[in-house]
Structure 1
Amino acid sequence: MAITVPGEWRPLYRGPMHPPAHPPTPIKGNAAGVPFTALPPAAGGAAPLIVTWHMLDAPRSDAAFAAALPMAGVPAWRVHLAMPMCGARMVGGSTDAIVALFQKDPLMSFLNPFVEQATEELPAALESIRAQLPVGDGPIGVLGGSLGGAVALRVLAETETPVFAGAVVNAAIRMRSVVELFPGEYPYDSETEQVVDRLDFVAKADAIRAPLLVVSGEDDHPALRADALDLVAALGQRSELLSIPGLGHPLADDPGIEPAPQLPLAAEVDAGLTAWFRGQLARAA
């Protein structure tokens, strides 16, 4: 397995990244109304911060995402935020309310408002996290999976939050591609065309303002896979691509709400993310 950059091959970062013998207990909390699962660095104490947003496929909660991608070898706090109506914010303890939203209108009732809300929640959540955990006030890392990837990309392209590096996994890079995964032909109009154009991060690649690792399962949805390759090409030397053979879209088994043992392919993603963020932290030091 290797991380590659367009036009060259580069091996994975080989620094020490072994997980601790006794992984730290996850910390459950709430940051300005956003539930989170935090994982401290192995050494404990003050350290940089990486903020993540989970998938809406499995793992579909902050706690489950933390279990799938713990990045235990990264010397940073990893704070996994719950997406809207997920984790402790589920309505009635199930995903039925989310299903009702995307059946009503996958773009305008589900995809777009979830990405907007999660992005808009970050400044207050970040202030609260810094008041609760010893993470300092320096630039953060950001990570998003699937729809959470669109949140991470919006933070990188559209906000002023200082970021030292980002990563996305099987991400919603072009929202039009995600809409096409839902049954039927979507009835676009002028408003919805503007929405999907605004959430096209290949077109907005020039605005992405930190180094980005793009993790893509080779068996992900073909359109999402193609978008990942297009984003890396658009970013050029500002990005790296990590392809995972055999990985489809999910990173965990259904139902994907509660923490579960890490799957072998998720472990490969985790190793790549660990190498990436360790390397970026070393460069930023």
Structure 2
Amino acid sequence: MTNFAEREQYVGTAAGVPYLILPPASGRTEAPIVVGWHLFDAPRTESAFAAAMPLDGLDAWRIYLGLPLCGARKPAGGDEEVMRLGMEDAVRNLYGPVQDQAVAEFEPAVAAIKAEHGLTGDRLGLFGGSAGAAAALGVLAATRLPVAAAVVVSPLTQLRPLVAANGRLYGIVYPWDAGSEAIADKIDFVARAPELARAGAPLRLLVGELDDAEAIHVPAFAVRDALAGAGVEAEVTVVPNMPHMLVDPPGDEPAPQTDHAAAADRLAVEWFAGRL
């Protein structure tokens, strides 16, 4: 397997958003474009996510965007400050602002990247992992651009059960109030399924066999059922032996692809190839 650092790739910043691009083997500037966002957990940068899920074999430009408050955009104090913000109020300090900013900056960033690299393809796919999956779904619900297909991995589809799961992990009970409830409503793609359905993009949700049932599995199946009920193609696939993380922590730098990440990658390529 080619070392990730030796692969053809382009890195830069567009509209303030750090990105990495893996070009298609064909090099066609008119090839489809697939845009993805990494996890909060490993892999937690655009380069690490690209190494874990390079979507090899797909004739598309794969654009990996960095999430706000992650990677090159971590606040002063780095991981310790991110942890402090999360322990203080993960909903208000992390999930809410990251989601809002990722959705808001999507169209300007993609337009700038297309202009800089001369990309002319009009077929668009979206994908992401965990918090990056929530970003992808938020964009799908909000963007004015037509989306042909989407894939989400270890997906955050409902914030409330994820916060409850993290609370069990850290031994805390999150104090919901009107402000945080409003954020949770925004990151609830079961309730927002009608918005996803209006976009009409076929959606594959890849959940790890070893991931949290209440936080990840149950909401993913609920999203699938809601979309299917609205006549939109949607599928949940359980990836054997896959935990929530795709690679070992910390996940900042590109690492060799794990077996379960490779399995998720193949399933994503299969979905996009048949629809882009």
| TM-score scaled by length of structure 2 | 0.90
Q: Is the 8 A contact 1:52 1:80 kept in 2?
A: yes
Which residue does 2:52 correspond to in 1?
Answer: 68
Is 1:38 equivalent to 2:21 in the alignment? yes
Instruction: Structure 1: state its 5+ residue gaps.
Output: 1-18
Residue 94 of structure 1, CA deviation:
3.8
Q: Aligned residue pairs: how many?
A: 261
Which residue does 1:124 correspond to in 2?
Answer: 108
Is 1:201 equivalent to 2:189 in the alignment? yes
Which residue does 1:186 correspond to in 2?
Answer: 174
Tell me the distance in 2 between the aligned counterparts of 1:264 and 1:232. Answer: 25
Deviation sequence 1:53-107 (CA, Å, 0-9, x none)? 1000000000000000000111000000000122222345842221121011010
Amino acid in the other structure paired with 1:197: D
Which residue does 1:218 correspond to in 2?
Answer: 209
In structure 1, which of residues 264, 269, 285 is the aligned counterpart of residue 264 of structure 2? 269
In structure 2, which of residues 201, 221, 237 is the aligned counterpart of residue 229 of structure 1? 221
In structure 2, which of residues 231, 245, 249 is the aligned counterpart of residue 250 of structure 1? 245
Q: Is the 8 A contact 2:107 2:143 kept in 1?
A: no
Which residue does 1:109 correspond to in 2?
Answer: 93
In structure 1, which of residues 89, 99, 102 is the aligned counterpart of residue 83 of structure 2? 99
Instruction: Structure 2: state its 5+ residue gaps.
Output: none
Q: Is the 8 A contact 1:24 1:42 kept in 2?
A: no
Tell me the distance in 2 between the aligned counterparts of 1:135 and 1:115. Answer: 26
More helix by share: 2
Residue 248 of structure 1, CA deviation:
0.9
Tell me the distance in 2 between the aligned counterparts of 1:44 and 1:263. Answer: 27
Amino acid in the other structure paired with 2:244: H
Higher deviation after alignment, 220-229 or 263-272: 220-229
User: What secondary structure is seen at the aligned counterpart in 2 of 1:249?
Assistant: coil
Q: Is the 8 A contact 1:45 1:134 kept in 2?
A: no
Higher deviation after alignment, 242-251 or 187-196: 187-196
